[in-house]
Amino acid sequence: MPEWTENQKKAIFHHGHDILVSAAAGSGKTTILIERIIELLKNNENVDNLLVATFTDAAAKEMKDRLVTRIKELVASDELDPDQKQHMQSQIYKVAVANISTLHAFCLSVIKNYYYVINLDPNFRLLSDDTETSMLKEQAFDAVRGEYYAKADVDFLNLTDNFSNDKNDDGLEDTIFRLYDFAITNEDTDGWLDRLVDSYDFGASITDSRFFVESVKPQVINDFKNIANEMESLKEIAENDTLSKNYVTVLNNAIVSIGEIIDEISINESFDQIRETIGNFSYDRVKPLSKVDKESAGDDNSIVETVKKQKTDLKKQIEDIYNSYFVQDEEQTLDAIKRSKKVIEKLVEVQHAFIKEFNKIKTNNHTLDFNDLEHKAVQILSTEVDGKKIALEFYQNRFHEIMIDEYQDVNAMQENIIQLLSNDENHIFMVGDIKQSIYGFRQAAPYIFTGKYQKFQKDDNPDELIQLSKNFRSSVGVDDFVNSIFERIFDENIGDINYDKSVQLIPGTNFPEDIDSRNEMYILSGDSEEDADKDTSKPQLETANVDKRVNKIGFVAEKIQKLIDSNFQIYDAKKGITRSLKYSDIAILMRNKNSNTDLISYFSKAEIPVMVTDAQNYFQTTELQIMMAMLNIIDNPRQDIPLVAVLRSPIVGLNEEELAEIKIVGNSTDYYTAMLQYVASEGTKDDISKKIISFLERIEGYRDFSNKNSLVKLIWKIYQDTGILEYVAGMPGGKQRAANLHALYQRANTYEKNNFMGLHKFIDFIKRMQDMDRDLSQPNSIETTDDSVKVMTIHASKGLEFPIVFLVNTDDEFNKKDYTAETLYDVKSGIGITILDQITRANARTMQRALISDRKQVSSVSEEMRLLYVALTRAKQKLILVGFNKEPEKMLSNWEHVHKNQKGVITEGARLAAKSYQNLIGMSIIPENDTKNDIELKHFSNETSQFNLNIVNQSSFTPETRGVSTNQGESIPASDIFKKSVNNILDFKYGFEDLTKTTAYQSVSEIKGLFSDPDDNEMARADVLNPSGKYTAQTFGKPRFLAQNKKVNATDVGSATHLVLQKISIDKQPQDSDFKNLIEKLVKDNVVDSEVAKKIDINSLVKFYESDLGHKIIENKDSVSREYPFSVLMNADNLFNSSKDIQSTDDKILVHGIIDGVIELADKIIIFDYKTDNVNSDNIEEKIENYSGQLNLYAKAISVIKNQPNVGKYLYFLKINQMKELKKKD
């Protein structure tokens, strides 16, 4: 038998009353639950007479498995007598059918057994798919909304207007759905909804109202007390710094002013009087320092800067209170509350109608959702049949004890069920840890746990609180680090528990003294080299965030590889041995999944095996984005983003350059129009035009197909036509990607089965799923070996443990949407809204919303703290934290001067303003007033907390260089295997290197640009190659469409001139009016910009057709091809004579180009090229030389294509109206 601690014994053996076990991380709560069950079975209890509720199905299965294993161990041992063994053996078979399950599963069994009590159809189907549930909700609200619109209900129209925008009424729908999800977890859903208007019942005086007295007053007074406490702490800092001494009097007077504000609120002064006093708050002027003080203070002004900043921040907090509660006078505020009450009354009415319709649809479809399970179970347990609650009596008699695991995460409805089942004969055994309550988004109610936690401690309470604080998982280093943080940030106000000695982690496992269990905190700082080159005058947020994220991932990869390569030693407590670290000993935890794609890519390149247990969001996967973009443009092709997404995808296959070419043609139009203009300007034989025409025909076909067929048939047709299923199956993670596409097909099938029709509505439905953060996919894992680094969210890591844990992105800011949304909900305070003035169209946030926002901020930050606790307590031996800060000196100074109360807990204001895990940790573990003495900017070590803080300049490493600089300036090397592999690749020399650098496709413009002498077939300038393998010039200017200067330039005019010469009719000799009419049409059709059109020299065009070449064109109009595109295979050695690797005439290159004009005569071919360059007698020969290489290539190509060796080459310079023939070169 294990050696149980005294408190573990209490948890196993105490009976006869309710018990709450507060079990810290690693304290073995599941083991305790198993042993408690075993002890009951030893005393002749039957396992099917127990209700054991777990949080997940996986936890229930694990508990059953462990219970069976433990029973078998006992039966095989000598610990039991024969009767006990026989009884134990009989329990093995009962475990499978015992009520060891989630509360939802238990409720389902209640319904199946007693459905008749409430006249429920037993042939119901459980809606296990959130998608189907969402669609039924849509159907219900559509019906309700339709009825109200049909009645032309003015109050409903105002309600819709209040929660929606000018484009649609989706805002009201979202409000109804969110309110439903919040209300349904309440044990009295209808009653809670009906009470929402109570907080809007006001008389003539705001300060006399119940809502203000009981809710707003305590909140605002507490806020001002917190500000006063912060000022007191700031004053102490100022008193000990010469440069800050003159701030002491200013802060003293401010504290007095805040005391007066608190007094006014306490004695119920009038609302307008309180408003005026708060609005008039200001600091006194700070007197300048004397010359003597300045000289004695020295140059260090870090403290006075901190005092200034915090003083300003505190003033901002006062302004926030004013803007939240007192921005309008009493008359205006009462008017807004009155209008809000009317809106909420209508909202509640519509909400009831929606619930009624939703339940009706589910009844008609013979379905129940998960919320119904709890509500129907409560209804069954509470319903009397012949004067008896037969179901309730059955379960109360059957269950001799009720055991609840993860009690901190139950909601109000679940607590109602638990209390219903309990009576004087059967008691409740609850196990949980308030410090690990992290499911607020599922309406978990931690106040239920804390209420009993406080109640059970009282001497006169018959029930019992048992603390399990001994951590059998982690090293002393991890425990000390965790304790040093949470004793500074947890209290009853924020975090819901005082982190005192009774709850602090106590090491329960002895690690060897020489084992490395020191925790490390790394903060990447500064700009990367790429950042330094960026134009900081322009927004760079998205790129900066990506660079920062990738750099952190790169640092983690290098750190992991260094640990592996150094044979870092891990202590295996179960086996009592030390061994070398494996990849599978490491977990990377993150707050969300946003970095997963970058991490997978980077780790794959670094050859670090990785298992990702949380996939990226379903709708963020490449294949789903392509398909949703395709569906969007089938619905409406004039949507630039989805249109370009499909054009760039494998479905069409245009590259960025080609997309840019299209947009240049239609620069001022939408992209769909730009495509049409491109085809019109380039003709149908151009490669891009062919792709566009084929794509448009396909889209038109899909649109027609969509009108005549179901949505699922359309999706399947797209799959078949495009081959996208086969394509994604060949990508990394192909099996999952193909499954994702099949899932979309299934979602569409489910959508239509529920009587929803139409592509547009399906797209809207999917968009709402995205907006509501609903992920319709299953978690994904990257196929790899068992020995791989585990990557997961903090939520997914709960209950798991790893020798080494990396917590990454510690600098990411907390999610504020829980308390910044326009409409907020709270169990106690009801609903807070933003009210729209129907006349002025101005929005005003109500006092009720301000109160809920304040409370929600506290609960949100509390949950973030608990998430941090969960993350840090997953580590057995060592924690490594990685974050970023651009200005570490300032950050360290802020941490150093954070304020703490008399108990050493950081003040509420500082904790609420922390914004990130990095700040919570830093301000907890950096000692006060010791930065200058003990902290070097590069490295800091704290023995008490057992951690090192390292500042790493991210410019010293990048994903490209794969080098990482630590605080000592050393680099973390890559793995030897990886380096050897890379070196083998980099050192390999291929015998025909030039051929590998030359694509089988080259355009004439690319070839001609290589030669300093355009007609000299040498590769003198071909030493720089682009990624696609084409020979290109060394440098390119910025593309015109990216240039800031939007003035008309010569290139624009030249392109337009060529277009006019291509489009002008040559049935007769064109006149001035013909050119003008054509140009006007091109401008009207948005093919040519009007400003560009003004610059076209019409006179030179007329003169061109008056020239000998012009006459020859008119005379042979049927043999003339303008803008003649060609593609021809040519011998590579004819193009690039200088390359020693390109010698065989078997080496071919496909040359592509467009000739301005070709005239096919009986005995020869004439090619001509007109130029709009500024040419004069001084430079004309140079210009001819420059263009001769291009025309010679054209001539070679046309000679091969037409099998005509006699080719005449002409250049026509429009500016000077001169034609030059290029003579054949020897």
Q: 432: annotated binding-site residue? A: no
E strand or H helix at 677, and its extent? helix 671-682
> Over 11-28, what HEC string results?
HHHCCCCCEEEEECCCCC
**Structure-block tokens of residue 23:** 């079990």
With tokens 């040498």, the residue in question is 1018
C-alpha–C-alpha distance, residues 673 and 671, integer Å: 5
Contact 828, 195 (CB under 8 A): no
Nearest to 607 by CA among 967, 1028, 985: 985
Q: 629: annotated binding-site residue? A: no
Residue 1152 pairs in a beta bridge with 1003, 1127
Q: 30: annotated binding-site residue? A: yes
Q: 28: annotated binding-site residue? A: yes
C-alpha–C-alpha distance, residues 115 and 674, integer Å: 63
**CB neighbour class for 462 (10 Å; exposed up to 12, middle 13-18, buried from 19):** exposed
Contact 927, 935 (CB under 8 A): no
Contact 103, 738 (CB under 8 A): no
Nearest to 806 by CA among 1028, 969, 583, 1024: 583
Q: 674: annotated binding-site residue? A: no
Which stretches of 581-731 are assigned E, i.e. beta strand? 586-590, 610-612
Please report the DSSP string for 946-1010 in residue order.
Answer: TEEEEEEEGGG--TTT---B-TTS-B-PPPHHHHHHHHHHHH---TTHHHHTS-SEEEHHHHHTT
C-alpha–C-alpha distance, residues 967 and 1074, integer Å: 75
Count of C-beta atoms within a 10 Å radius of residue 440? 19
CA atoms within 13 A on the CB side of 810: 27
Please report the DSSP string for 337-394 in residue order.
Answer: HHHHHHHHHHHHHHHHHHHHHHHHHHHHTTEE-HHHHHHHHHHHHH--BTTB-HHHHH
The one-letter amino acid at 1042: L
Count of C-beta atoms within a 10 Å radius of residue 699? 17
**CB neighbour class for 1145 (10 Å; exposed up to 12, middle 13-18, buried from 19):** exposed
Please report the DSSP string for 998-1049 in residue order.
Answer: S-SEEEHHHHHTT-SSTTS---TT---B-TTS-B--S--PPPGGG-S--S--
E strand or H helix at 880, and its extent? strand 875-884
Q: 27: annotated binding-site residue? A: yes
Nearest to 199 by CA among 340, 327, 329: 340
Q: 24: annotated binding-site residue? A: yes
Cα 967 to the chain's mean position, in Å?
Answer: 31
CA atoms within 13 A on the CB side of 312: 6
**CB neighbour class for 520 (10 Å; exposed up to 12, middle 13-18, buried from 19):** middle
C-alpha–C-alpha distance, residues 661 and 685, integer Å: 16
Please report the DSSP string for 145-195 in residue order.
Answer: HHHHHHHT-HHHHHHHHHHS-SS-SHHHHHHHHHHHHHHTTSTTHHHHHHG
**Structure-block tokens of residue 103:** 């509360």
E strand or H helix at 570, and its extent? strand 569-572
C-alpha–C-alpha distance, residues 521 and 846, integer Å: 43
Q: 150: annotated binding-site residue? A: no
How far apart, in Å, are the Cα atoms of 1197 and each of 685, 689, 1004? 17, 22, 10
Contact 895, 915 (CB under 8 A): no
Q: Which residues carry a binding-site annotation for ATP?
A: 23-30
Q: Which residues carry a binding-site annotation?
A: 23-30
